[in-house]
Amino acid sequence: MTVIVCGLVGLPIRLNNRINTWWRIHFYVPILIEFLGLVACVISLMPGFVEEVTYRMDGMDTTQTVPNQILSISGWFLIAIGKLHVYPPIILEQKLLVLLNSVKQCNFKT
């Protein structure tokens, strides 16, 4: 499920040149998305947000405390999207290409 959701979110970033350029210029956005996911996961574990679930097992009622499902699942997806869609900044890529081209030119001249 995570791979499908991340793939659907990332498709426009990969296919649309304008969105891809914006995403790579603002390279900190996926890092912020990942941070928000971590915050949501941590909040889901806090005492005010946990949920108590009662279920019957072997004829006995058992109550268990579980994290807030909405916060933990949305946090998980935000972490995954942030991690999988970090691209190198466009300025760094351009500098790397110039460096590699100059090294390539030097190798052909010798």
Alpha carbon 8 to its chain's center: 13
For 61-97, how does the pLDDT look when each residue is reduced to its tens digit (9 = 90+)? 888 888 999 999 999 999 999 999 988 888 888 888 8
Q: Could you tell me the pTM of the whole model? A: 0.76
| HSE-up of residue 31 (Cα within 13 Å, Cβ side) | 8
Measured N-to-C along each axis, helices 2-15 and 69-84 cross at an angle, to the nearest 10 degrees, of: 40
**What would the two tokens of residue 108 be?**
């052909």
For 3-61, how does the pLDDT look when each residue is reduced to its tens digit (9 = 90+)? 898 889 889 988 999 998 899 899 899 999 999 999 999 999 998 888 888 888 888 88
Q: How far apart are CA 47 and CA 92, in angstroms?
A: 43
Tell me the sheet residues that pair with 56: 61
Question: Residue for token digits 């869609």?
Answer: 85
Specify the pLDDT at position 53: 87
Backbone angles phi, psi at 85, to 5 degrees: -120, 30
